[in-house]
Structure 1
C-alpha cells in the first residue's frame, strides 16, 4: 500500500509541474528561483522510497521462509542425532546383585523340581500284578505229571501285560513253548519271565518301570487259552525258578 501511495504522489507532482501545452505556456516561477529541479528531486525521493518499500515487502517473505526452513532443518538434525542414543534409568541394583538373584531362583527351582520328582517317585508303585483283573488258573508246582514253574493268569485277548517291577529288558521275541516271551532283569538280580503274549511292545535294552505295559496278552505257543505265563528266576536268568506268588507277596502284591 505504501508503494502505491508513493506512486500516486509522484504522479500528482508530475501533473502539477508539467506544462499544460507544449507551446505558449509560460513557466511558473516562485519568486525569482525556478522550481523545476525541486519536483524532480522530490519525485526521485518518492520513487526511491516506494521502490525501497516494495523491495522490503518483496524480500521480507523469502527471508522469513528461509529462516523457518533453517530452523526446521536444525530441528530435524537434532532429531536425527538422537537416533541410536539410549537413555537408561538409574540402576537400583548392581549386576552382581542381579546375578546372585538369578542363581538363587535357579537353585530354588532345581530344589523344587527335585522335591516334586522325589514325591512322584515315592508315590509310584515299585511292584505290580502283571495283569489287572486276571484269574489265577494254574499255580506253581506239579501239574499233569510235570512241574509247572510259573503261574497262569487268564484274561481276555490283548489285555495289557505290565512289568512286575522296575528293570531292563533282557530278551524279547520268539521263545520255544511260549510262542513269544519277554525277560526282565530287576535291580536285585532276579529275572521275571512273561510268555504266550499276542504282541510284544518292548525291545531288549529298554528300561521299564513297574506297571509299564510291555505286551498284549495272547494264546501263542503251548497254550490252551488266552493267558499270561509268569515266572521268577531267582538271582539271574539261569537261577532257580521260585514261586511267583511268594515273590509278589514279599513285595506287597496279592494275586
Structure 2
C-alpha cells in the first residue's frame, strides 16, 4: 500500500507537471481556460518526429507527402528543353533563310523595274523583264507567204525598249530589213533581237542589265507601223518562237497592258 500510495503521488505530481506545461486549467495554475486551450491547439499543430538525425538534403523528395503525386506528374510532363531549343533554332534559321531569299528576289525585281520596265520576274536566279509596254499584234511563223521569225509588239514611236535580261551588246545600229536593231548576247549563249527601233542607246561591247533601257520603239525598215520586232536565237543561231520561251520564264507578252506589275 505504501508503494502504491507513493506511485499514485508520483503520478499525480507528474500529471500536474504535464498539465502545467500544456496549460490545462486547475492543474498548472494558468490564468484562464481560454489561454490553456489556445496553447493546446498550438501544440497540436507542431510536427512530431522521433528521428533526431540531421536532415539529408540530397535525398529524393518523398512522393507520398501531401501533393507529392502532383509533383511527380508535373516532373514527368516537363518538355525536353534541349530538344525544344534545337527545334526553335532550326525554325528560326529556316525563317531567316526564307526572309533573306524573299528580300533578294524583291531587290532583283525592283532593280529590273527601276528604269520603267512594265513587268519583271525572276527565273533561274536571273531577272527577266517585259521588253516594252506594247500590244501583241503578230506571232511567230508563216505570214504573207514568208516566215516571220519573231513577234511584234505595237507601241507609239519613242516607247522605251528594255533589255530582256543581263547581257552584252553584240550589234547596235543599221540592219537590213529592220532599219535599225540591237542584238544582245546573254550568259547562256542565247541572243535577243530588237528590230525596227527608232534610236539605240547602247554601243557594241557594252554590258547591260535586265531592265536597262537600250532603245526606243520605231518604224524603220520594212514596217507597216511603229512596233518592236522581237526575236530569240539559240546559241547555234536557230530562231525560236519567243512566246513559249518568254512564257516559260513567267512573261506573257500577249497580255502586255503596260501596267507595272512585279
TM-score, normalised relative to structure 2: 0.50
2:179 aligns to what? 179
How many Å apart are 1:117 and its aligned residue? 8.1
Q: Quick check: which has more Rg, 1 or 2? A: 1
| Counterpart position of 1:160 | 160
Aligned mates of 1:150, 1:182 — CA distance in 2:
14
Shift of residue 118 of structure 1? 8.7
Report the equivalent of 1:242. 240
* Matched residues, number: 137
1:120 aligns with 2:107: yes
CA distance in 1, matches of 2:245, 2:138: 16
C-alpha distance 203-145 of structure 1, shift in aligned 2 (>3 A): same
* Partner of residue 34, structure 2: none
The Cα shift of 1:187 comes to 1.1
For residues 40-63 of structure 1, the C-alpha deviation after alignment (integer angstroms, 9 at most, x for no partner) is: xxxxxxxxxxxxxxxxxxxxxxxx
What does residue 138 of structure 2 align with? 138
Matching of residues 23-38 of structure 1 within 5 Å = none
Shift, 1:210, TM fit: 1.1
- TM-score, reference length from structure 1: 0.51
Aligned mates of 2:109, 2:217 — CA distance in 1 = 29
Give the CA deviation at 1:144.
Answer: 0.5
Q: CA deviation at 1:212?
A: 0.9
1:225 aligns to 2:225 (yes or no): yes
Inter-CA distance 251–174: structure 2 relative to 1 (3 Å threshold):
same
Shift of 1:221: 0.3
Specify the alignment match of 1:12 in structure 2.
Answer: none
4+ runs of 1 displaced by more than 2 Å?
116-125
Q: For the residues of structure 1 that align with 2:105 and 2:143, how far apart are their CA atoms?
A: 45
Q: Kindly tell me: are residues 118 and 242 of structure 1, through their superposed partners in 2, closer, same or farther at Cα, counting changes over 3 Å?
A: closer
More helix by share: 1
**Rounded Cα–Cα distance in structure 1 between residues aligned with 2:110 and 2:198:** 31
Give, in angstroms, the shift of residue 250 of structure 1: 1.1
Distance in 2 between residues matched to 1:155 and 1:193, nearest whole Å: 17
- Structure 1 residue 188: Cα displacement: 0.8
Q: What CA distance in whole angstroms lies between the structure 2 residues aligned with 1:233 and 1:190?
A: 6
Q: CA 1:169 to 1:122, structure 2 compared with 1: closer, same or farther past 3 Å?
A: same
- Shift in Å at residue 190 of structure 1? 0.3
- Pairwise CA RMSD: 1.8
How far is 1:211 from its partner?
1.1
Mind listing any 5+ residue stretches in structure 2 that lack a counterpart?
1-102, 112-119, 121-126, 254-262
